[in-house]
Amino acid sequence: VAHLIQCVPNFSEGRDPAVISALVEAVRVTQGVALVDQSADADHHRCVLTFIGRASAVQAAALAAARQAVALIDLTRHVGAHPRIGALDVLPFVPLGETPMAECVDLARATGALLARELGLPVFLYEEAATVPERRNLAIVRGRGFEALREAMLHGECAPDFGPRLVHPTAGAVAVGARGPLTAYNIVLDTDDLSIAKEIAHGIRERDGGLPGVKALGLWLPSREQAQVSINITRPLETPIWLVYESVREAAAGYGVSVLESELIGAIRLEELVETARHYLKLPGLDRRRVLDLWAARLGSEDEENDGEG
Amino acid sequence: VAHLIQCVPNFSEGRDPAVISALVEAVRVTQGVALVDQSADADHHRCVLTFIGRASAVQAAALAAARQAVALIDLTRHVGAHPRIGALDVLPFVPLGETPMAECVDLARATGALLARELGLPVFLYEEAATVPERRNLAIVRGRGFEALREAMLHGECAPDFGPRLVHPTAGAVAVGARGPLTAYNIVLDTDDLSIAKEIAHGIRERDGGLPGVKALGLWLPSREQAQVSINITRPLETPIWLVYESVREAAAGYGVSVLESELIGAIRLEELVETARHYLKLPGLDRRRVLDLWAARLGSEDEENDGEG
């Protein structure tokens, strides 16, 4: 059975179409990977690519995109709503199906070493790939962002796992990790009052007694002049996306504010869609094995292979 | 590219586990088909198998299951909530992906001829496979069911497309067709008043001015002592399942009745789950290409093939 791995690099560029398409193309032309999604956001000034494949192909695609990011993105001229430390800001590897987490840990460390050597980036290993417990938490790794990191000397406790003791002048540093599934999900509120989004984020985040595995921030979207609750669901099979949506919707209603729309950044797991339909349609008997397209994708690919040999 | 076909035979047996598992096994052991779902219902006294594959494999599985149905099901002792004419009652073939409908029409007719010759069943071709316009409508083909058909002489306008002029004494007749996607969906109401289910069915069915492509019946479920709206959504990409659910929920609320739960019979298309999440989560940007499992199924199968070749 194939050991598939998902890779979800986040880049600090969400506006320039030429840069975004260079990043996308670097992945697209890599043999053996399937590009699942590209999400760019002008307000966050980030883009997120999602692709899958075996370890070696995924690593090749990640390195190819990283080269483009270091060449084309200048963090000294970057301002955005989202915390970040690098041009290629975060590079997580996620096991799919039966793939063991250890394989993603190995891949993160090997890829981190290559990024340091080839591109001169300080590399911080995080979450499952972390070498010290404090670095498991990405928020701590990112600290106060590129500007703070640039001033600091990366020695002692601050030393990166790989690479130079100074951040790259234009590309900063990078956090490379291995982690479980994560659903990046934003909910846009019909209000220009950022404090409401911040209060709602406070109410749903696990750290403050909210929903299991939920991280959340209230952010301001200048291009839309609206407030947004920006959410990471780090245990999407435990805390379903519909529960996050309903929690935000109800909390907003308490302020007399409605949800304008929500946005997914990157990919979603079929199980999350199944669980959403199960809930809203009161359809307990639904399960992923009943989704026709999944069987067709399997059988179709097998047949394509057979056709190719015939 | 593989031309995949979905087959959804409906059998008049929903209670005897030994018979149901004989039908299931007949499909499961057939090379080249994937069994997607088996749904048996004691009140409807029916079971529905859903499987996919290429034309030749799908035909082999359908014939294997039909042999079991004719051998094991005795319609003279069958009573159920659902209209039916045969042990193997309905045998539709549905194109998947890029498969042309014409391929399913050919397959329906060829399979119908084999069912008549080998098993002595009168075969009526329906919907896209119909040879006369009146037989496009399955409800007309089924007419008043097995008991009425048994008394009739199948001559002239009533003659089957293939097979004898008399129904099989225990297995009746069979409707074999080619059709587009159909979602079979039941909604159980928290009431023992069948007339409410019938009124709601009347309100949503296309024929009476309701939702496009929707067929609906109010049925009584003796085993649960509850009323059910039994629904076929024949254009599920035009009339989404959530709209059907919400229409029934709102109509029921008008009678002070709530929805207990809903049930899917057979398979569902990924697009329907995507559309459901899009609606309830106000997530317009969601589309099927963002579903990770679909890409993994494709890539995984390819890799398995490659592994097999060494």
Q: What is the pLDDT of residue A304?
A: 47
**Mean pLDDT on A62-76:** 96
What is the band of A43 on the pLDDT scale with cuts at 50, 70, 90? confident
Tens of each residue's pLDDT in chain B, 310 residues: 579 999 999 999 999 999 999 999 999 999 999 999 999 988 889 999 999 999 999 999 999 999 999 999 999 887 766 778 999 999 999 999 999 999 999 999 999 999 999 999 999 999 999 999 989 988 888 877 888 888 777 877 789 999 999 999 999 999 999 999 999 999 999 999 999 999 999 999 999 999 999 999 999 998 889 999 999 999 999 999 999 999 999 999 999 999 999 999 999 999 999 999 999 999 999 999 999 999 999 887 654 444 333 3
Handedness of CA B16, B17, B23, B24 (dihedral sign): positive
Q: What percent of chain A has pLDDT over 90?
A: 80
CA-based nearest residue to B2, from B103, B97, B111: B97
Interface contact flag, A267 B290, Cβ < 8 Å = yes
Residue A190 touches partner B, C-beta closer than 8 Å: no
Give the A:B interface size as CB pairs under 8 Å.
200
Contact in structure between A146 and A90 (CB atoms under 8 Å): no
Instruction: Give the tokens for residue A269.
Output: 């797991």
Question: Whole-angstrom Cα distance, residue A157 to residue A76?
Answer: 25
Handedness of CA A7, A9, A14, A17 (dihedral sign): negative
Question: Whole-angstrom Cα distance, residue B13 to residue A301?
Answer: 34
The b/e string for A7-38 (b: 16+ C-beta within 10 A; e otherwise) is bbbbbbbbbeeebbebbbebbbebeebbbbbb
Interface contact flag, B297 A292, Cβ < 8 Å = no
Q: Considering the entire predicted model, what is its pTM?
A: 0.90
Instruction: Give the tokens for residue A174.
Output: 């990078």
CA-based nearest residue to B124, from B111, B71, B23: B111
Q: HSE-up of B231 (CA within 13 Å, CB side)?
A: 36
- ipTM score here? 0.90
Question: Whole-angstrom Cα distance, residue A121 to residue A151?
Answer: 16
Any idea which residue has 């008008």 for tokens? B254
Q: HSE-up of A67 (CA within 13 Å, CB side)?
A: 11
Residues 57-116 of B with CB under 8 A from A: 96-97
Amino acid type, B112: G
Nearest to A273 among B245, B274, B295 (CB): B274
- CB neighbours (10 Å) of residue B136? 17
Residues from chain A that touch B5, judged by Cβ atoms under 8 A, are none
Question: Whole-angstrom Cα distance, residue B184 to residue B264?
Answer: 6
Helix axes B241-254, A270-280, angle to 10 degrees: 20
pLDDT tens for each residue of A9-19: 999 999 999 99
Q: How far is B301 from chain A, CA to nearest CA, in Å? A: 6
Interface contact flag, A276 B281, Cβ < 8 Å = yes
Question: Whole-angstrom Cα distance, residue B277 to residue B287?
Answer: 10
Distances (CA, A) of B64 to B71, B170, B229: 11, 18, 32
Question: Whole-angstrom Cα distance, residue A233 to residue A241?
Answer: 8
Instruction: Give the tokens for residue B112.
Output: 């119908």
User: DSSP assignment of B118-148, as one string?
Assistant: HH---EEEEETT-SSGGGGSHHHHHTT-HHH
pLDDT tens for each residue of A221-261: 988 899 999 999 999 999 999 999 999 999 999 999 999 99
Contact in structure between A119 and A160 (CB atoms under 8 Å): no
Round to the nearest angstrom and report the end-to-end CA distance of chain B. 23
Instruction: Give the tokens for residue A126.
Output: 């995080």
Catalytic status, residue A168: no
Question: Whole-angstrom Cα distance, residue A96 to residue B299?
Answer: 12
User: How far is it between the farthest Cα atoms of chain A?
Assistant: 64
**What is chain A's mean pLDDT, rounded?**
92
Residue B36 touches partner A, C-beta closer than 8 Å: yes
Query: What 3-state DSSP class applies to B246?
Result: helix
CA-based nearest residue to A274, from B274, B304, B211: B274
Q: Which of A33-37, A137-141, B239-243 has the lowest mean pLDDT?
A: A137-141
Q: What is the pLDDT of residue B154?
A: 81
Q: HSE-up of A208 (CA within 13 Å, CB side)?
A: 11
Mutate to test the interface with B, among A4, A49, A274, A293 (most CBs of B within 10 A): A293
Question: Whole-angstrom Cα distance, residue A219 to residue A194?
Answer: 7
Contact in structure between A150 and A167 (CB atoms under 8 Å): yes
Nearest to A276 among B6, B276, B285 (CB): B276
Q: What is the pLDDT of residue B307?
A: 39
Q: What is the pLDDT of residue A58?
A: 98
What is the radius of gyration, based on Cα positions, of chain A? 20
Handedness of CA B258, B260, B262, B263 (dihedral sign): negative
Contact in structure between B46 and B15 (CB atoms under 8 Å): no
Question: Whole-angstrom Cα distance, residue A36 to residue A108?
Answer: 20
- CB neighbours (10 Å) of residue A72? 18
- Given the DSSP bridges, would you call strands A123-127 and A46-53 parallel, antiparallel or unpaired? unpaired
